Structures are given as structure tokens and as C-alpha cells.
Amino acid sequence: MTRLTVDDVYQHICGVCFKTGPPGTVGAETEWFVVDARDPAAHVPGERVRDLVEAAGPPSGGSKVTYEPGGQLELSSAPFRGLKRLHRALQGDITHIEDALEPAGLALAGHGVDPVRRPHFQAEHPRYQCMRDYYVSGGFADVGLAMMCSTASVQVCLDIGNDDADALRRWRLAHALGPVLVAAFANSPLHSGRRTGLRSSRQGIWTELDPCRTLPVLRLGTDTDPAEAWMRYALDAQVMLVHTAEGKWVSHPGMSFREWLDKGEPDEEDLEYHLSTLFPPVRPRGWLELRMIDALPGPYWPVPVAVATALLDDPVAADTAEAATEPVAHLWTEAARCGLAHAALAGAARTCFRAALDALPRLGAPRLVPLVEEYAVRYVERGRSPADDAAPHSPMSEEDSAWPQ
């Protein structure tokens, strides 16, 4: 078994995480809370959901069905050439799951954070048990449990870029778009029945959680090599867990990956697993995974996928988005707290949505224009996000900032 060096880590990241090629492929992951329509405050046993889904057979659109530690159901699409095919396939698969759950009185609910139920850990896989132990030992017990069991998102997966220069441009733009996407799609003002004072409590949870693996990778104005930046991030992050040769799982061995590397112990499989435990808002996996978007009510999940794809893949829209987001690229905290009530973020969002609407027909997705336009008129043009459909917001108190178990 070959032991790794720092150069080996860099070469892996260049060849796997930042593998370049002509853009145009898009994928998406939608996470949902499963709720009992007769008792929305009740926790639905994960085993019950899995039995219903398995009895219905695999989704015909090719989406992979998985489950988060709190029982959230995730549908991960196959990669598609273009938004039109992705939308048709993933929407069909979501409908397939809804049809499987409906006779049992269950439904899919789109929220960035579970607004009613407290975190309830249901996972049996050792990975998740080790992850929970890691957060407890690191002093992140409450927020870690909230992240694992009470959050849900829409994740957009787009190509790295045509070549190194294009990859750098797309990397920077994806990060600059982050606060705008957080604000425009903020949909989690409540957690466990309490108001948090944030439009996106999901983003607040991720911000409070273990910064060595959840903060943005890009250092604004400094990074010129995305692979180098991701390598530094990975080397400096704490090792969450180790899967030993004897088949045991060890949580929080108490070292960074760089320190583990200095011991001459990890191999490429260990590196790949370590990278899978890092959760920045933009994660390179051979594609760019945009992880900062709250899960949305049923009809609107395609909107962030369409907007993000248009702004990164269409050259005209990308130029507009670069100029619009540059002044607000650092406003992650403000985006979570204020959403589009923040004037600068609202202005950037309006410009980005208009550019995306212009670009969608050029990308072969004109049928998504009415839905994106409906969302823009209802929320973006009015300086609102779905979180504002709830009661008025008030500043977050110290008491409300805790993530209850």
C-alpha cells in the first residue's frame, strides 16, 4: 500500500477534484423532510419510509435515494447534459417518491431546517455515529446534531470548467454567488418550533459548525490556484474518523490530515474519505458542488438549479453575475441573517435573476423561464425570500441562538 506525500495529495486534487472538460453537464441533489400529514410534529421512523420507498421500486429517472441521519430523504440525480433533461428526470423521481409515501399519509416537506421537530438521530451506519461522536468531542454537540438531523438543502452540481483558466473563473464566481444564493433562497427562519432570528438558520448552523471543514475555501483576492487552495484546506482540516484495516471506525483521532500525513500512514483511499467529510459551501468533487442553498417548497426546487446553472454556464450571464456579486461576495453572515432584506444583496440578486432569465432560452431551457420568473416576481423583485412568508423577523437573542437537542 503506497503512502501519500503532499505532492501526491496535490496531484490527486488536480486530477480528480479539479478534472476539467467542456461545461454543460448539470446534476442536483434535493433533500426533504418526511412528515406525517396528520401529525407534523411527530418524527417519522426511517425504517417505515425506507420500506415504502423500496416497495415502490427505483425511480425511473435514475436518481439515487439515500437518507440523512435524521431521516431526511435525499434524491441525487444522475448527471445530465442540460437543464431540460435534468428537470424532467428529477421531477419525475420526486413525484415517484411522493406517490410511494402518500397512501401512508406521509409527505415531503421542503425547509432548510426542520421548523417544528427537534433533532432525532436515526442513523445506524458507523460513519454517522462517528460523525456525531466527533462533534461531541469537539464541542459542537448541539449544532452538530442539528446539522445532521435538522437541515436540508438543494445542491447544484456543475462542471469544473473547460481548462485551468475557466476553472479558476468558475471557482471564483461560484464562491461570489454564495451569499446571493443564500439570501435569495433563505427558507429556514424556525428551528424546533422557535424563531432563530435568521432567514437561513441552515446557513447559521453550518457557520457555527467546525470551521476547519465548513467555512468557504476561497480566500477573497488571494487564491490563484483552486487546487492549491483545496489542498491547503484539506491538509489543515481535522481528521473526522478513520476506518481501520481491521474494519473498525475510530472517531476524532485528534490530528489534522497534514499531521497524519507526516506520520506516513494514510493512503489514497484515506484521502478520498477525508475529502468526503469536508463540507464547504463550494466543494470540488470532479465538479463544483454548490451546497449553500436551503431546501425549498415543492414547486420551487428547480429555481436555484436553473439560476446557478445559467449564471455559471452562459458566458453573458456569467459576466453580469461577476460584476453584480463582487461587492457582496463576503456577506455570508448578512445573507443568513437578513436574506434579501439586505439592500446590497437584494440588488445583486435582482441583477443575477434577470441575467439568468435571459440565459435560460440560450441554454435550451425556455420552459423553466415561467417558474423562475414567478419566483423572481414573488420574492426577489420585492426584496423577499421564502423565510419572509413566516411571521416578521426580530434580532436573534442569545437564547435563540442555541440549537436545541
Q: How many CB atoms are closer than 10 A to CB 325?
A: 25
All residues at 6 or more sequence positions from 228 whose CB lies less than 8 Å from its CB, including other chains: 10
**Burial classification of residue 215, based on how many CB atoms lie within 10 Å of its CB (0-12 exposed, 13-18 middle, 19 or more buried):** middle
Residues 192 and 206: their CA atoms lie apart, in Å, by 16
Residues 150 and 114: their CA atoms lie apart, in Å, by 5
pTM: 0.94
User: Does residue 219 come out as left (phi exceeding 0), alpha (psi in the -120 to 50 range) or beta?
Assistant: beta
Residues 182 and 39: their CA atoms lie apart, in Å, by 30
Check residue 403 and give its pLDDT.
45
Residues 78 and 20: their CA atoms lie apart, in Å, by 19
Residues 328 and 186: their CA atoms lie apart, in Å, by 16
Kindly report the backbone phi and psi dihedral angles of residue 114, in degrees, each rounded to the nearest multiple of 5, phi listed first: -60, 115
Check residue 391 and give its pLDDT.
56
User: Does residue 48 come out as left (phi exceeding 0), alpha (psi in the -120 to 50 range) or beta?
Assistant: alpha
Check residue 250 and give its pLDDT.
85
Q: Which long-range contacts (CB under 8 A, 24 or more apart) does 40-47 make?
A: 40/109, 40/116, 41/116, 41/117, 42/117, 43/71, 43/117, 43/120, 43/122, 44/71, 44/106, 45/71, 45/122, 46/71, 46/122
Check residue 399 and give its pLDDT.
39
**What is the tally of helices (H) and strands (E) in the chain?**
16, 12
Check residue 3 and give its pLDDT.
79
Bridge-based pairing of strands 241-243 and 190-191 is unpaired
Residues 310 and 312: their CA atoms lie apart, in Å, by 6
Check residue 390 and give its pLDDT.
82
Q: Which long-range contacts (CB under 8 A, 24 or more apart) does 398-402 make?
A: 400/194, 400/195, 400/196, 400/197, 401/196, 401/197, 402/142
Which is nearest to 111 in space by CA: 238, 199, 212, 13?
199
Residues 113 and 77: their CA atoms lie apart, in Å, by 22
Check residue 404 and give its pLDDT.
41
Q: How many CB atoms are closer than 10 A to CB 193?
A: 12
Q: Return the CATH architecture of domain 23-122+148-220+279-383.
A: 2-Layer Sandwich (3.30)
Residues 387 and 294: their CA atoms lie apart, in Å, by 10
Kindly report the backbone phi and psi dihedral angles of residue 354, in degrees, each rounded to the nearest multiple of 5, phi listed first: -65, -40
Which is nearest to 188 in space by CA: 397, 346, 337, 333?
337
CB 360 within 8 A of CB 369: yes
Q: Which residues of 268-360 form beta strands (DSSP E)? A: 282-284, 287-294
Over the chain (405 residues), the average pLDDT of each successive run of 10 is 87 96 95 96 96 97 97 97 97 98 97 97 90 93 96 98 96 97 98 95 95 88 84 96 83 92 91 96 98 96 98 98 97 98 98 98 98 98 96 45 42
Residues 167 and 381: their CA atoms lie apart, in Å, by 31
Binning the chain into helix, strand and coil, the percentages to the nearest 5 are 50, 15, 35
Residues 147 and 112: their CA atoms lie apart, in Å, by 10
Length of the chain: 405
Which residue type does 350 have? R
